[in-house]
Structure 1
Amino acid sequence: MVTDIYQVQGMTCGHCVQAVSAEVGALAGVDEVQVDLASGQVTVTSAEPLDPAAVRAAVDEAGYDLVDR
């Protein structure tokens, strides 16, 4: 198992959390997505390391911005 923490900007409500969780959770290999609305942190647990471009695209599809690490 691999756990990565991403920083996402622009989330302000429960709908935001739901949208990001759904898009990132749909990526191949993702087992769990936890979103902390207050901090903007998105914790993703997956079987293998995820392609950063795929995570960025999923967050973008949800309507938010992934902060560069």
Structure 2
Amino acid sequence: MESKEKPSRLTVYLPEKPRAELLKIAQDTGISQSQLVVMATLSLIANYREKGHAIFSELLGVSSQFNDK
């Protein structure tokens, strides 16, 4: 059964390079940037539930790749 609850809003600040990549993915897939962020968040939650804190070492490696370029 679907929830009738109104989704809450969250403002997220992204560095320019990941933001541009997100825009390209949205354009390539036809999925809105907001929906992509929701999908990524749900994936993060599911991975955290399954693997716990171990997922962050991998995620931090990805984050540093965007900042180094």
With normalisation by structure 1, the TM-score equals 0.31
Instruction: Return the structure number with greater strand share.
Output: 1
Which fold has the larger relative contact order, with Cα–Cα distance below 8 Å and residues 6 or more apart in sequence?
A: 1
Superposition TM-score, scaled by structure 2 size: 0.31
- Flag the structure with higher helix content: 2
